[in-house]
Amino acid sequence: MIPTRRTLFAALAAVGTLASLTACGGASNSSGSSSPSGGTYTFWDPYPQFDATSAWGRLVSACGTRAGVKLKRTSYDTTDLGNKALLAAQQGNAPDVMLVDNPVVSTLVEAGILNKTSDLGLDASSIQKNIIGAGTIGNAAYGVPIGANTLALYYNKKILAAAGVDPASVKDWTSLTAALKKVRAAGKKGITFSAINTEEGSFQFLPWFWGADGDLIELNSAKGVAALALWKQWVDEGYAPKDVLQNTQTTSWQEFATGEYAFSENGTWQLGNADKAGFAYGIINIPGRHGGSAPVPTGGEFVTVPVQKDSGRYEVSKKIVTCLTSDANLLPTDTTLMYVAPTSAVQAEQVKRNPKLKPWVDAVAAARGRTSGGLGTKYPAISQPMWTAVQAALSGGKSPQDALATAQSSAQKGQ
C-alpha cells in the first residue's frame, strides 16, 4: 500500500531529526522490466564517499549481475536518504532496494514504505538478535543489517602509565573518575566526547544513561539524572573540556589524536585513524555505573526492500539483498566500513584477521537499538529533548534534575 501524504509528511519530520552517525545525486525511478530477471533495478545507499570503482561500488554492481539485472546505484548522505525515500514513496517510484540508517527503519515502516523480511522470504535467523532488533517493529524485521558499529573508550597508553593508572582498574564510574583525577594531577587532559545538540550528542550520552539503568520513557528518573550529573562533574572539574558542547564525534576524536587526552569516547569507525595517531592506544568497554559493560547504542544500516506497485519485482530484490548480506560479502564489506559483522561466524573471522576488533565485538554484543523496546518512531521525540537537556546542564543553564524534567515534559508532548 502506498502511504498517504499526511503520513509521509509526519514521517519526514521524524527523519529530519536523525543525523548520520556512521559513514559520512538525484533520485531515479524504479524503471525496468517487471519480470523476475532482466531490466534495471535501483539501489540507494548512504555511502557517497564510495564511487563505482570502490570495493563497495563493485560489490553492488556484481550483486545486480548475479541477480540477472543492471543495478543502478544512487548515493545520498544518511539524513537526505531518509527524506528522499519518503518523497519517492509518495510519488510511487521508491527504489527497489535501499540501505538505510537503523533508527530510520521504524519511521519508514510507520509510513508504510518497507516490506517485512519474512514476507519476502529473506532468512535473518543467523543475525545477532540485538543487532536485528534495531530494525524490528512489532516482532517483525523490516530489513537485514549489513553490519554494526558502536562506542567504547579509546585510551592513550603513555598517558595512563605516566599517571599510574592501570586501564584494567577502570571498572565503574567511580574508578573511571578516579583515573581522570590522576591524569589531571599528572598534567594531562582527561576525556573527550561529543555532547553536541544533535543526534550525535544523544548517541554518546546513551551509554552513560543506560549504564545507570536509565529508561528512555522516563528521562528524569534518578538514574538518568545520575548520568547527566556525571558528565557535568567532569566538565565542572576540568576532566572533560567545555567544548564537548560543540564537539562532533569527529572533532572530539581530533582532540584525542593530539596525544594530550587520556580517554576518548568514540566508535569503531575511528580504528583506522587510531592506527595513524602516532601513539600506543588501547580500548575498553564503557563501564556501567556500578560495574560491568554499559549497554551502548548500535549504529549501522539495514538493507531494505521498499513497497512497489509491481510486486513481481520482489523476487529479484530478494536476490540482491541476499547477495549483499551473504557471509562471503559481509566480511570484505564490514572490513571496508569498519563495522562489526551481524553474524557470529563473520565476527569470528574478523577477529581472526584483526585481533583489535575483539573489544568491539564484545561491545556490539552488549549494544541495543535506539528504537528497540517498542520505542520505534517515538525515539526522535525523546532524543531531541535529551540532547537539549545535556546542553542545558553542561552549560550551567539548568541543574541535571531540572534539565531532564524539562526534557521529559517535552518528550511526552512530542509523542
What local confidence, expressed as pLDDT, does residue 377 receive?
A: 82
**φ, ψ (nearest 5 deg) of residue 49:** -75, -10
Residue 336: the pLDDT is 83
pLDDT in the model for residue 366: 84
> What pLDDT is stored for residue 83 in this prediction?
86
Q: Would you state the pLDDT for residue 54?
A: 93
Strands (E), 253-404: 261-267, 281-284, 301-304
- 10 Å CB burial of residue 362 (0-12, 13-18, 19+) is middle
Q: For residue 371, what pLDDT is reported?
A: 85
Give the model's pLDDT for residue 36: 54
All structural domains of the chain, each given as residue ranges with its CATH number in brackets, are: 5-148+299-360 (3.40.190.10), 151-296+375-414 (3.40.190.10)
What's the N-to-C CA distance of the chain in angstroms? 25
**Per-residue confidence (pLDDT) for residue 240, from 0 to 100:** 98
Q: Pick the closest to residue 270 from 394, 404, 378, 152 (CA basis).
A: 152
Q: What pLDDT is attached to residue 32?
A: 40
pLDDT at 393: 98
pLDDT at 2: 33
pLDDT, tens digit only, all 415 positions of the chain: 333 333 333 444 444 444 334 333 333 333 344 445 579 999 999 999 899 999 999 999 999 999 999 999 999 987 788 889 889 888 888 999 999 988 889 889 988 999 999 999 999 999 999 999 989 988 899 999 999 999 999 999 999 999 999 999 999 999 999 999 999 999 999 999 999 999 899 999 999 999 999 999 999 999 999 999 999 999 999 999 999 999 999 999 999 999 999 999 999 989 989 999 999 999 999 999 999 999 999 989 999 999 999 999 999 999 999 999 999 999 999 988 889 999 999 999 999 999 989 999 988 988 998 988 888 889 989 999 999 999 999 999 999 999 999 999 999 987 7
Contact in structure between 96 and 40 (CB atoms under 8 Å): no
Residue 99 to residue 365: CA distance in whole angstroms: 22
